[in-house]
Structure 1
Amino acid sequence: MKYSTVRPTFRPGIAIAFLLLIIFMSACSNTAENNQKAGIAISFDDHFINDWYALRPLFRKYNAKVTFFITCGDTLTADEIAKLKQLESDGHEIGFHGTVHGKATETIAALGPAKYAETELTPGLHYMKLAGFVPESYAHPGGDHNDQVDSVLLASGFKILRDVAISRRRMFGVQLYALAPRLMSHIFYPFDKEKIVDALLIDTDAGLTIGEMQDAIGKAKETGTALMLFGHQPLHVAPENGAYGFNVAFLEQVLKEAQRQKLRFYTMAELPKN
Structure 2
Amino acid sequence: MAKKLVLALSAFVIIIAFFSGCKKFEKEGHMQEPGVVITFDDDRVDNWFEYLPMMDSLGVKATFYICKYNRFTADQKRKLGIIRSHGHEIAFHTTNHYNMEDYVYKSRHTIDDLMRCEVEAGLKLMNQDGFYPTTFAYPYGAHNAVFDKMLMRYFKSVRALNGTQDFSKSVVPTQHNDLLYGLGIDKSSKRSDPDIINVLQSAKNNNACVVFVSHDINTPSKFSTSLHRLIQIFEFVKKNNLKYYTASEISD
TM range (shorter): 0.7 to 0.9
Residue of structure 2 equivalent to 1:260: 239
Residue of structure 2 equivalent to 1:159: 156
Deviation at 1:119, TM superposition (A): 1.6
What amino acid is aligned across from residue 153 of structure 1 in structure 2? L
- State how many pairs are aligned: 240
TM-score w.r.t. the length of structure 2 is: 0.86
Residue of structure 1 equivalent to 2:62: 66
TM-score w.r.t. the length of structure 1 is: 0.79
Residue of structure 1 equivalent to 2:53: 57
Deviations 1:148-178 (A, max 9, x none): 111111112x1111111135xxxxxxxxxxx
Residue of structure 1 equivalent to 2:116: 118
Residue of structure 1 equivalent to 2:224: 245
Q: Do the aligned residues in 2 keep the contact of 1:37 with 1:264 (CA within 8 Å)?
A: yes
Deviation at 1:58, TM superposition (A): 1.7
Q: Do the aligned residues in 2 keep the contact of 1:159 with 1:269 (CA within 8 Å)?
A: yes
What amino acid is aligned across from residue 53 of structure 2 in structure 1? P
Deviation at 1:192, TM superposition (A): 4.9
Residue of structure 1 equivalent to 2:203: 220
User: Tell me, which stretches of 5 or more residues in structure 2 are unaligned?
Assistant: none
Residue of structure 1 equivalent to 2:146: 148
1:21-100 equivalences in 2 (<5 Å): 22=21, 26=25, 34=31, 36-100=32-96
Q: Do the aligned residues in 2 keep the contact of 1:58 with 1:252 (CA within 8 Å)?
A: no
Identity %: 24
Deviations 1:57-100 (A, max 9, x none): 22112101101111111101110011000000000011110011
Residue of structure 2 equivalent to 1:135: 133
Distance 1:206 1:150 in 2: 24
1:181-192 equivalences in 2 (<5 Å): 184-192=167-175
Deviations 1:167-217 (A, max 9, x none): 5xxxxxxxxxxx3xxx52221121351211111001112222322222222
Q: Do the aligned residues in 1 keep the contact of 2:66 with 2:94 (CA within 8 Å)?
A: yes
Matched, 1:101 2:97: yes
| Structural RMSD (CA) | 2.4
Deviation at 1:246, TM superposition (A): 1.3
Query: Among 178, 182, 185, which residue is 1:199 paired with?
Result: 182
Distance 1:234 1:71 in 2: 17
Deviations 1:241-267 (A, max 9, x none): xx5321122112111111111111011
What amino acid is aligned across from residue 109 of structure 2 in structure 1? L
What amino acid is aligned across from residue 217 of structure 1 in structure 2? L
Distance 1:203 1:210 in 2: 11
Distance 1:71 1:99 in 2: 5
Distance 2:171 2:120 in 1: 31
Distance 1:216 1:145 in 2: 24
User: Tell me, which stretches of 5 or more residues in structure 1 are unaligned?
Assistant: 168-178
